Amino acid sequence: MKRRTYRKRNFPLDQIRRYLEPGPIVLVSSAWRGKTNIMTMGWHMMLGFSPALFACYIWEANHSFEMLRRSKECVINLPTTDLVNEVVGIGNCMGDTIDKFEKFGLTPVPSSEVAAPLIHECYANFECRLYDGRQIAKHGLFIWEVVRAHVATSPKLPETVHYRGEGRFMVSGRAINLRRRFKPQNL
């Protein structure tokens, strides 16, 4: 599939829900002791506007688990449909012996605030620092504060990929604007 190239801008942190609340598959990049890794992740949610909090579940058997727990940093990268094969490939190999950036031809770009690299080919990148690690042991739940967001200037709406399990995905579809039916304080 032909990959897209996105030009990005710094994006207001209190508006990142636009991209994460719809529930897309994301790629989590990490760095620890000179090595980087990428994992595919679908279990995540917004948890606050300001600070911009984001929670996710990571299985301890994933190679990324210890890298994230120890480095206390990550980047949440938002892939679009053109990267669906990479999303599946990354989710089906282990980062302990291979360099996933190299294997999947993805470009690591230095982050502004954290050691974990951005994935250049993704529509958006959210740099995160661990905000609350106390639920990691019991629930595998990492609560992150997003400290910087890079979002493509175009298109306005990314075509994202949402996982249904069993190898099946849903691609984001048409838009509905019901702004006129909202109370102003709820917008």
Amino acid identity for residue 62 in this structure: N
Give which of 147, 120, 127 is closest to 3, Cα–Cα.
Answer: 120
Choose one: 2-10, 62-70, 85-93, 117-125; the region binding a second copy (CB under 8 A): 85-93
From the list 91, 99, 109, 133, which residue makes contact with a second copy (rule: CB under 8 A)?
91
Alpha carbon separation from 17 to 54, 85, 160 (Å, rounded)? 9, 25, 14
- Indicate the residue among 5 and 185 with the shorter CB distance to a second copy: 185
From the list 18, 72, 103, 120, which residue makes contact with a second copy (rule: CB under 8 A)?
18
Q: Cα–Cα distance between 148 and 8 in angstroms, integer?
A: 12
Q: Cα–Cα distance between 23 and 20 in angstroms, integer?
A: 6
From the list 2, 46, 62, 130, which residue makes contact with a second copy (rule: CB under 8 A)?
46
Choose one: 30-38, 96-104, 112-120, 138-146; the region binding a second copy (CB under 8 A): 138-146
